[in-house]
Structure 1
Amino acid sequence: MEQKRLLLFVTLSATVIFVWQMFIFPRIAPPPQPAAQQQAENAPAQDEPEQDGLEQDLPLVAQKPLKDGEVKPQPEQPKEQKPAFARNPRRTIVLGSLDPESGYFLQAKITTQGAAVMEASLNDPLYRDLNDKKKPLKVLDEFSGAKEVSRSLQIEMKQLDKKLEPFLTNTRRTDWKVLEEIKDPDDPKIIQAVHLGLTAPDGSIEVHKVFRLEKYPVPPDEDFRQFRNTKQAGYLIHFDLKLINESSQGQVLDYQLLGPVGIPLENADNTRKFRDVRIGFLQNDMSIDTETLNAPDIIEEVQAKNVEKYTRAFQFAGVDVQYFAALLSPDGKNFKPELVNGEMRSNYSASVEPVLIQQNVKNEAQSRVTIKVNSEEIELPAGGETEHSYALYAGPKRESLLGPPLKAAEIMDFGFFGPVAKLMLWLLTTLHSIGLSYGIAIVCLTVMVRGSLYPLSRKQALGAQKMKELQPQIAELKKKFGDDREKMGRAQMELFSKNNYNPLAGCLPIFLQLPIFFGLYTALNNAVQLRGTPFLWIDNLAAPDALFKLPFNLPILGDNFNLLPLITVGLFVVQQKLFMPPPTDKDQELQHKIMNYMMIGMGFLFYRVPAGLCVYFIASSLWGICERKLLDFQAKRRPATTTDPNVIDVTAESKKSSSNKKQDKKTKEKDDKPEKKGWFARLQEIADQAQAQAALNEKQRDQKSGDKGPGKKSKKRR
Structure 2
Amino acid sequence: MLLWFGWLHFLVPKLWPVVPKPRVPAVSSVEVDVPADATAPENAVVADTEQPAVAPLPKHPVKSVWLGPEVDDDKQKLDEFFLAVKFDSRGAAVNTIELTDRARYPAFGRRDKRLRLVGSDIATSLRTFELQAPAIDALLKSETLDRIPWEITAQDKTSITFRLQTSDGRWELVKHFQLEQLTEAELKQPHVRDTLARGYQLRLTVTVKNLSPRPQELSYTLRGPVGVPLEDADNTYKYRDVRMGFFDEDGAGIDESKLSAAEVVKKVKAKKTELSKRPIKYIGVDVLYFAALLIPQEDQLKQRTIDQADCVVVAEDKQYPQYSDVTVDLTSSKLTIPANDEIKHEFVLYAGPKLKELVQQVSAGAVMDYGWFDSICRGMVWLLNMFHAIGLSYGVAILCLTALVRTLLMPLSKHQAKHAAKMKELQPKIAARQKELEAKHGKNTEEYIKASQELVAEQSKMMLGGCLPVFLQLPIFIALYRAIGSSIELRMEPFLWFENLASPDALFALPFKVPFLGWTEFNLLPCISAGLMYVHQKLTMPAPTNEEQAAQQKMMSFMMIMMAAMFYRVPSGLCLYFIATNIWSMTERWLLERKAKADAQNSPPAPPSSPSGPGNPPQPKKPSPFSNWWYSMVEAADKDVSIKKKSLNDDDSNDRKNKKNRGKR
Q: Which residue of 1 aligns with 2:556?
A: 595
The 2-side partners of 1:157 and 1:579 are apart by 69
> Does the residue aligned with 1:135 lie in a helix, a strand or coil?
strand
The 1-side partners of 2:639 and 2:629 are apart by 15
Structure 1 residues 293-336: Cα deviation after superposition (integer angstroms, max 9, x where no partner)? 112222112112222241111111100000000000012xxx13
**Structure 1 residue 141 and structure 2 residue 141: aligned?**
no
User: For the structure 1 residues 312 and 477, does the alpha-carbon distance in structure 2 shift closer, same or farther, using more than 3 Å as the test?
Assistant: same
* CA RMSD between the two structures: 3.3
Amino acid at match of 2:528: I
Structure 1 residues 440-488: Cα deviation after superposition (integer angstroms, max 9, x where no partner)? 1111111111111111112212222332233222222222233556767
**Structure 1 residue 536 and structure 2 residue 496: aligned?**
yes
Structure 1 residues 236-293: Cα deviation after superposition (integer angstroms, max 9, x where no partner)? 0000000001112211011100000011000100111111101100122432111211
Q: Which residue of 2 aligns with 1:634?
A: 595
**Structure 1 residue 162 and structure 2 residue 153: aligned?**
no
Equivalent of residue 306 in structure 2, options 328, 339, 349? 349
Mapping for residues 665-676 of structure 1, pairs under 5 Å: none
The 2-side partners of 1:159 and 1:329 are apart by 25
% same residue: 37
User: For the structure 1 residues 493 and 399, does the alpha-carbon distance in structure 2 shift closer, same or farther, using more than 3 Å as the test?
Assistant: closer
Equivalent of residue 246 in structure 1, options 199, 203, 211? 211
When the two structures are aligned, how many residues end up with a matched partner? 573
Higher relative contact order (CA 8 A, sep 6+): 2
Equivalent of residue 233 in structure 2, options 255, 268, 276? 268
Contact in 1 for aligned 2:434/2:545 (Cα 8 Å): no
The 2-side partners of 1:243 and 1:681 are apart by 66
Mapping for residues 276-355 of structure 1, pairs under 5 Å: 276-283=241-248, 284-331=250-297, 335-338=298-301, 347-355=304-312
Structure 1 residues 23-80: Cα deviation after superposition (integer angstroms, max 9, x where no partner)? 99x99xxxxxxxxxxxxxxxxxxxxxxxxxxxxxxxxxxxxxxxxxxxxxxxxxxx99
Q: Which residue of 1 aligns with 2:87?
A: 110
The 2-side partners of 1:492 and 1:289 are apart by 49
TM-score (norm 1): 0.74
Amino acid at match of 2:130: Q
The 1-side partners of 2:201 and 2:274 are apart by 28
Amino acid at match of 1:377: K
**Structure 1 residue 94 and structure 2 residue 62: aligned?**
no
Contact in 2 for aligned 1:477/1:488 (Cα 8 Å): no
User: For the structure 1 residues 694 and 400, does the alpha-carbon distance in structure 2 shift closer, same or farther, using more than 3 Å as the test?
Assistant: farther
Contact in 1 for aligned 2:121/2:229 (Cα 8 Å): no
> Does the residue aligned with 1:420 lie in a helix, a strand or coil?
helix
The 2-side partners of 1:492 and 1:337 are apart by 63
Structure 1 residues 194-223: Cα deviation after superposition (integer angstroms, max 9, x where no partner)? 011001121210000011111114648945
> Does the residue aligned with 2:520 lie in a helix, a strand or coil?
strand
> Does the residue aligned with 1:216 lie in a helix, a strand or coil?
coil
Equivalent of residue 430 in structure 1, options 386, 405, 410? 386
The 2-side partners of 1:302 and 1:681 are apart by 52
Contact in 2 for aligned 1:139/1:394 (Cα 8 Å): yes
The 2-side partners of 1:220 and 1:358 are apart by 39
Q: Which residue of 2 aligns with 1:464?
A: 420
Contact in 2 for aligned 1:322/1:525 (Cα 8 Å): no
Q: Which residue of 2 aligns with 1:481?
A: 437
**Structure 1 residue 178 and structure 2 residue 152: aligned?**
yes
Unaligned stretches of 5+ residues in structure 2:
1-21, 30-50, 442-447, 603-618, 649-665
Q: Which moved more, 1:679-688 or 1:618-627?
A: 679-688
The 2-side partners of 1:121 and 1:605 are apart by 34
User: For the structure 1 residues 338 and 203, does the alpha-carbon distance in structure 2 shift closer, same or farther, using more than 3 Å as the test?
Assistant: same
Q: Which residue of 2 aligns with 1:127?
A: 105
Amino acid at match of 2:581: S
> Does the residue aligned with 2:343 lie in a helix, a strand or coil?
strand
> Does the residue aligned with 1:179 lie in a helix, a strand or coil?
strand
The 2-side partners of 1:492 and 1:249 are apart by 88
After TM superposition, give the deviation of residue 522 of structure 1 in Å.
Answer: 1.7
Contact in 2 for aligned 1:142/1:151 (Cα 8 Å): no
**Structure 1 residue 395 and structure 2 residue 344: aligned?**
no
Q: Which moved more, 1:418-427 or 1:364-373?
A: 418-427
> Does the residue aligned with 2:356 lie in a helix, a strand or coil?
coil
Contact in 1 for aligned 2:246/2:254 (Cα 8 Å): yes
Contact in 1 for aligned 2:509/2:521 (Cα 8 Å): yes
Contact in 1 for aligned 2:78/2:100 (Cα 8 Å): no
Amino acid at match of 1:614: C
The 1-side partners of 2:143 and 2:601 are apart by 89
The 2-side partners of 1:578 and 1:676 are apart by 35
Contact in 1 for aligned 2:462/2:644 (Cα 8 Å): no
The 2-side partners of 1:131 and 1:354 are apart by 30
Amino acid at match of 2:169: G
Amino acid at match of 1:177: E
Amino acid at match of 1:337: Q
After TM superposition, give the deviation of residue 671 of structure 1 in Å.
Answer: 11
User: For the structure 1 residues 467 and 354, does the alpha-carbon distance in structure 2 shift closer, same or farther, using more than 3 Å as the test?
Assistant: same
Amino acid at match of 2:505: D
Equivalent of residue 234 in structure 1, options 196, 199, 218? 199
Contact in 1 for aligned 2:221/2:331 (Cα 8 Å): yes
**Structure 1 residue 150 and structure 2 residue 132: aligned?**
no
After TM superposition, give the deviation of residue 86 of structure 1 in Å.
Answer: 3.4
Structure 1 residues 329-350: Cα deviation after superposition (integer angstroms, max 9, x where no partner)? 012xxx13237xxxxxx52111
Amino acid at match of 1:519: A
After TM superposition, give the deviation of residue 679 of structure 1 in Å.
Answer: 2.6
After TM superposition, give the deviation of residue 437 of structure 1 in Å.
Answer: 1.1
Mapping for residues 512-661 of structure 1, pairs under 5 Å: 512-554=472-514, 555-639=516-600
**Structure 1 residue 378 and structure 2 residue 335: aligned?**
yes
The 1-side partners of 2:584 and 2:385 are apart by 23
After TM superposition, give the deviation of residue 355 of structure 1 in Å.
Answer: 0.9
TM-score (norm 2): 0.80
Q: Which residue of 2 aligns with 1:259?
A: 224
Contact in 2 for aligned 1:455/1:680 (Cα 8 Å): no
